Amino acid sequence: MSEQLPVEDDHRERRRLERESRTVDRFKTSSKGFRRVFQGHFPDSIPEVEAIVHHLASLEAKQAATQEALRLARYPGAGDRDARRFVMGLWENLSIVQQHCAGAMESLEKLAQSRESNGTKTEPEPESDD
């Protein structure tokens, strides 16, 4: 015997599943596009390209949820029901953005330092004593 969810909870669950599905679809589409572009510039299969693809696609996929959280936070009464949940929801969204921005930036920096635009390895520039 399974318990029936109240109509409001059923609606929330359905919306959550739809949002998750859109996020996964957006990640897949973004990954394909970023991979195609970066592999065009860097045809060798290198870990930095896959890391960049992952982080940028994750950022783009979570963009809608983060934007919604930010939009909801500016309305009067935001967090009136549960201030801790409100704050932690914002924190979670921003921490995801921070994590993927940092990962993408680190991988982009590694790629720029180790490769030229045609995909050949370069020697690191000597540091000057200025």
> Model pTM?
0.74
The total of other beta-carbon atoms located within 10 Å of residue 123's CB is 6
pLDDT computed for residue 92 by the predictor: 94
Distance in Å from the first CA to the final CA of the chain:
77
Query: Looking at residues 6-28, what average pLDDT do you find?
Result: 87
Render pLDDT for 39-80 as a digit per residue (tens, 0 to 9).
Answer: 988 887 788 999 999 999 999 999 998 998 899 888 878 778
Domains of the chain: which residue ranges?
Answer: 12-114
* Residue 118 binned pLDDT confidence (cut-offs 50, 70, 90): very low
pLDDT computed for residue 86 by the predictor: 86
Residue 35, pLDDT > 60, answer: yes
Lowest-confidence region among 5-14, 87-96, 117-126: 117-126
Q: What is the DSSP string of 31-75?
A: HHHHHHHHHHH--S--HHHHHHHHHHHHHHHHHHHHHHHHHHHTS
Q: SS3 for 106?
A: helix
